[in-house]
Amino acid sequence: MLKVLVPVNGSECSRAAVDEALRIARANGDAMIQLVNVQPRMPYHVSRFLSGGEISALRAERGARALEGARQRVEAAGVRCAAHVLRGHIVQRISTFAAETGTDQIVIGTSPARGRLFRESIADRLIEESPVPVDVVRGGPIGMFERFGLPAGLGLGLAMFWYSNQ
């Protein structure tokens, strides 16, 4: 049985990843999709006002809310599904969970370039750290900024660099 792990956060990008995982599962025939949502550590300025039980309940609620739509989508497609709320560093927990559960493949959605312009994406780090193959799916349409603004800005920057070195 093929096990496909899909990190889910409730975004359009994660819905695109679930759709790709469903396509893979249908093509394989005997597959299971494992949906995971990783809840990071609570910031100190928030956690100092909450008890351990309240923090756990908040994480469980947020994780369940993020997983609900994806779980319903997979179950409606008639594919075996398991949903898990994990806690910790996102990339490390996904990689560890994949290794522990015998996952064959990870399918993750990523945002258009605007969201990754100034920080490394989770998908990029997961590709580096994962013990199993990672399939990255672009979620959401490419906006005008990514289509024209980035190339124009890069061209202008290179032209200014060239001009300043003359």
Domain CATH for 79: 3.40.50.620
d(CA 139, CA 137): 6
Per-residue pLDDT, 142:
57
Span 48-105, pLDDT tens digits: 777 778 878 878 898 999 999 999 999 999 999 999 999 999 999 999 999 999 999 9
Cα distances (Å, whole numbers) of residue 1 to 31, 66, 166: 5, 26, 62
- Domain count of the chain? 1
Q: Are strands 105-110 and 134-138 parallel, antiparallel or unpaired?
A: parallel
**Chain mean position to CA 5:** 10
Q: What is the pLDDT at residue 143?
A: 55
25 is in which domain, residue-wise? 2-164
